[in-house]
Amino acid sequence: MKRIELAIESIILASRWLLVVFYVGLALALAVYAVSFGKKLVEFMSKVLVMNDTDTILKMLGLIDAALVASLVVMVIISGYENFVSRFDGETGDVHWLGTIDAGSLKVKVASTIVAISSIHLLQVFLNSATYTSGQLMWMTIMHMAFVASALLLAYIDRLTGLKAGKKADGKPKELDI
């Protein structure tokens, strides 16, 4: 019976390597997105002299939005691999920060990035508000506030979990550095 249990546990642990397919796929998708970003950048640069201020700001916000999405993908790839598949060996010397991103803090970082992306999109909408109805503006704002509330709730839960896990021997929580 113990052999069967060990075999099952080995299979389950080995299955984490299937996640590598997803992370490599995300890296390839990121490369495609980089080409798309390059195309947007070239279009922006070719028209920058004839655009008005609002159009320039809208195009720049689109580029910032793309950079945030790309950063989100990188964050998911690296921290997901580090947390669920295997630790990086550190041969490159620039992976010292990886150990600080656990699953809880990854959720908070992802939610924060989504809020930032939503904020940029909402700003683009407001700068171009003449093309939207008041109902559309209201629903976009409500959706953005739902993202904000979700991010705050995730951060609060992560903080509570950190407090619970970080109790001192006498049962009192450690003070957090904020």
Q: Domain extents for the chain?
A: 21-165
Predicted confidence at residue 26, as pLDDT, reads 96
- State pLDDT tens for residues 42-69: 999 999 888 888 888 888 988 998 998 8
Return the axis-axis angle of helices 19-47 and 53-84, rounded to nearest 10°.
170
Split at pLDDT 50, 70, 90, the class of 38 is: very high
Q: Tell me the whole-structure pTM to 2 decimals.
A: 0.70
List the beta bridge partners of residue 167.
Answer: 173
Give dist(CA 164, CA 145) in Å, integer. 28
Split at pLDDT 50, 70, 90, the class of 178 is: very low
Give dist(CA 173, CA 155) in Å, integer. 18
Using the 8-state DSSP alphabet, how is residue 91 labeled?
A: T
Give dist(CA 60, CA 124) in Å, integer. 10
> In whole angstroms, what separates CA 126 from the centre of its chain?
24
- State pLDDT tens for residues 7-26: 999 999 999 999 999 999 99
- Nearest Cα to Cα of residue 81 among 58, 65, 60, 103: 103
- State pLDDT tens for residues 106-144: 788 888 888 998 999 899 898 888 899 999 999 999 999
Is the CB of residue 116 less than 8 Å from the CB of residue 66? no
Summary mean pLDDT of the chain: 84
Give the N- to C-terminal CA distance of the chain in Å, as an integer: 50
